[in-house]
Structure 1
């Protein structure tokens, strides 16, 4: 088999990574864009979503789809509510000061991680996907100038991985519609542009902040629920999503949702392709190098706006 089918397979794996990464990074970007808060605990909200997904599915008897759909609906709400509570009880009390919020979210990170370790344990545990049919993929080869379709051995994917990509696209479209077309999106954007003016017009800024912080965590938890049938739930699984989300947000532009999505696709696809042909470590090194180049030559990111 030539390199073409391998490249297609690597691109499909990268597309799954990009889809989950886009959801996670959009949540982080939304929090920073509206609140100007660097949420270091974002990866732990992702991890908590995966662990709670395992817990919910283990409670539901019957077909795996029943437990998974319940987890998909309930877990993001649970994690979002916990994040909103953390905002109201911790971040609000320190007036969202940039330096102190970093320290506070580091504290939230370790609290969530250690409580999960004490209750869930150190073992990685799987979640059964609701559907997982393997699909063979065709490839086109030109012989004497004429296309011929054949089915290379090993060139396949699963319906669940394609479902993850489709679900992420639908959720991202939904987030864009909320931010661009709805009244709550208008309120969020007004709060982002000028907090004091929003207060003057009677917008409950602190409630908006709690909603945004909860929504960002809910998106991370939703991404974790989608990926946990592919990657097992583990109490230390929040590190990589946090690192990659920061890389994506910096490259795309702090607070820019379109830039975050484009950067997530770029990083996700490159990670999948480089990991297959070379090594996952090289993929992380190149992503970090790209961040350094962006910070040097375009500090505001690819889609960000330079502030005066």
Structure 2
């Protein structure tokens, strides 16, 4: 296969990663933007989404489509509920203090990870995609007689990967619409701007925090459900996802949904291209170097507001 088709294939793989990463990092960015909480356990909520998806699909049966749809509905609700309960029982009691919150969520990370290991086991387990048709992709070649379309061998993707890209894009658009054009979004934005003033106006800030923490975890779980038919569920899969999510929100700007999406596309596409043509390790090294450059020259991120 020539360079052009190889590049197209790399971009498609990068788009899948970018879509899942944007969905997961949006949850992390939302939690920080509203609560000013750095949730170190966010990757474990992503892992729980994948593990719960496997468990639901295994219990429900009835074919891959039925199990996947049930997992897509139940996993975010279960994980979001657990996260909201963790917020009310742990983070609320330490008054959302930044330093103690980081320590608490690190502890929560290890508790979730070890409980999953004890209940789920160390094996990586797949979830069958609801559909997985192989789609051959066309390429245009310019010759002496003009352009001609042909199908290079190996240049293909699957219908499920295209679904992941479309589903993640639709969910992120829905999040943006809710934040900008709904009463719930108005309450979250008011709490973000001034929690004390929001309390004075009768907004139950603690309930808003619990809901936001649950929604952020639910988005991570959704990302886990979408990715598990491509990457198998494993109790350690949250580590790399958490690292990439932090890279995305730091580059995009903490609390900025627009910056998160742009940074996710940038990191996902570059990871896909570099992984195909060079190595996945080099892609992670370059992403880390990019974070260092952003922290040095623009600490607030590409779309973050400079603190005064």
Q: TM-score range by the shorter chain?
A: over 0.9
Q: What is the distance in 2 between the residues matched to 1:298 and 1:7?
A: 31
Alignment of structure 1 residues 274-285 onto 2, 5 Å:
274-285=274-285
| Structure 1 residue 145: Cα displacement | 6.0
TM-score by length of 1: 0.99
- Residue number in structure 1 paired with 2:20: 20
For 1:94-144, what per-residue CA distance to the aligned partner results, in whole angstroms no more than 9, with x for missing partners?
A: 000000000000010000000000000000000000000000000000002
For 1:3-35, what per-residue CA distance to the aligned partner results, in whole angstroms no more than 9, with x for missing partners?
A: 000000000000000000000000000000000
- Could you say what the CA RMSD is over the residues aligned between the two structures, in angstroms? 0.6
Alignment of structure 1 residues 118-137 onto 2, 5 Å:
118-137=118-137
Matched, 1:247 2:247: yes
Q: What is the distance in 2 between the residues matched to 1:197 and 1:141?
A: 62
| Structure 1 residue 60: Cα displacement | 1.6
| Structure 1 residue 187: Cα displacement | 0.5
Alignment of structure 1 residues 143-182 onto 2, 5 Å:
143-144=143-144, 146-182=146-182
Q: What is the distance in 1 between the residues matched to 2:97 and 2:159?
A: 45
- Residue number in structure 1 paired with 2:101: 101
Structure 1 runs of 4+ with >4 Å offset: none
Q: Tell me, what secondary structure is at the counterpart of 1:39?
A: coil
Q: What is the distance in 2 between the residues matched to 1:121 and 1:110?
A: 15
Q: Tell me, what secondary structure is at the counterpart of 2:216?
A: helix
Q: What is the distance in 2 between the residues matched to 1:63 and 1:112?
A: 29
Q: What is the distance in 2 between the residues matched to 1:216 and 1:62?
A: 30
Name the CA shift for 1:96/1:145 in 2 (closer, same or farther; >3 Å). Answer: farther
- Residue number in structure 2 paired with 1:216: 216
For 1:57-102, what per-residue CA distance to the aligned partner results, in whole angstroms no more than 9, with x for missing partners?
A: 0012222100000000110000000000000000000000000000
TM-score by length of 2: 0.99
Q: Tell me, what secondary structure is at the counterpart of 2:93?
A: helix
- Residue number in structure 2 paired with 1:62: 62
Q: What is the distance in 2 between the residues matched to 1:67 and 1:14?
A: 27
- Residue number in structure 1 paired with 2:85: 85
Q: Tell me, what secondary structure is at the counterpart of 2:114?
A: helix
Q: Tell me, what secondary structure is at the counterpart of 1:82?
A: helix
Q: What is the distance in 2 between the residues matched to 1:62 and 1:37?
A: 41
* Contiguous gaps of at least 5 residues in structure 1: none
Name the CA shift for 1:36/1:145 in 2 (closer, same or farther; >3 Å). Answer: farther
For 1:151-184, what per-residue CA distance to the aligned partner results, in whole angstroms no more than 9, with x for missing partners?
A: 1000000000000000001100100011000000
* Contiguous gaps of at least 5 residues in structure 2: none
Q: Tell me, what secondary structure is at the counterpart of 2:80?
A: helix
For 1:32-73, what per-residue CA distance to the aligned partner results, in whole angstroms no more than 9, with x for missing partners?
A: 000000000000000001000000000122221000000001
Q: What is the distance in 2 between the residues matched to 1:61 and 1:303?
A: 44
- Residue number in structure 2 paired with 1:39: 39
Q: Tell me, what secondary structure is at the counterpart of 2:207?
A: helix
- Residue number in structure 2 paired with 1:293: 293
Q: What is the distance in 1 between the residues matched to 2:240 and 2:30?
A: 19
Q: What is the distance in 2 between the residues matched to 1:146 and 1:98?
A: 62
